[in-house]
Amino acid sequence: MRETALESRRREDRRRFIRLAGAGTVIAALGAWYVIADDEKSAAARAERLPDGRARLPPGQKVIDYLEPMGGAAGSPNKSGYRLRVHGEVEAPFELDFGALLDMPQHSLALDVHCVTGWSRLGARWTGVSIAELAARARPRPEARHVIFEAAHGYTANVRLEQALAPEALVAHRYEDEALAGRHGAPARALVPALYFWKSAKWLRGIRFVARDEPGYWERRGYHNHADPWREERYG
């Protein structure tokens, strides 16, 4: 499928935002304002170490105190009509409505997220269902190696199976102890904090297990297929 002029402009806007991210404390991009924390907070986060020895703040990132979301074609925030399919290369595909999602064990975690455009939000509290627990119910077949997050309007994001099944990977429906807002992907979104934030698809509708990788929306438009923030895997 050929890229439209609007899609091309959006892609260039994202690239431009990355270049400008170091230029000031308040940045306007993609129709939203991003309030960047002072450099002391970013420096402190770079000095802090994760258990594996990496800096808490990946290279090229700045800590933010507040942000507007990066946009995207919004899905319906209606909880009553919500359905989440878990399917693909699994032995027991199933579907959940929003009430059934809430009936599953809930996990509330303080997590860091990192956007490809250069901001990081540290320690925000997310609540939801473990993707690993959803997978345990579906029982992926041995050939399953990747997970495709399916969202509103055909948006997809691809991640490796082991990253989708990490303990901190969630189907999140609460942010900072409040119900997820529509602009953040309500009623539920994927959350894979180990990767750049575009992999955490908003308005999540499906989790599909596949044997062969399938590049998603942004990956087909030049973004990196893996998206590790500590390796600065921004573009392919």
**CA atoms of 21 and 29, how far apart (whole Å):** 10
For residue 27, what pLDDT band results from cuts at 50, 70 and 90?
Answer: very low
Taking the complete model, does pTM exceed 0.75, yes or no?
A: yes
The per-residue pLDDT for range 44-75, each reduced to its tens digit, is 999 999 999 999 999 999 998 865 576 778 89
Residue 72 pLDDT: 78
Q: What is the CATH topology of the domain spanning 5-231?
A: Sulfite Oxidase; Chain A, domain 2 (3.90.420)
Quick one: pLDDT at residue 90?
98
Over residues 204-220, the mean pLDDT reads 98
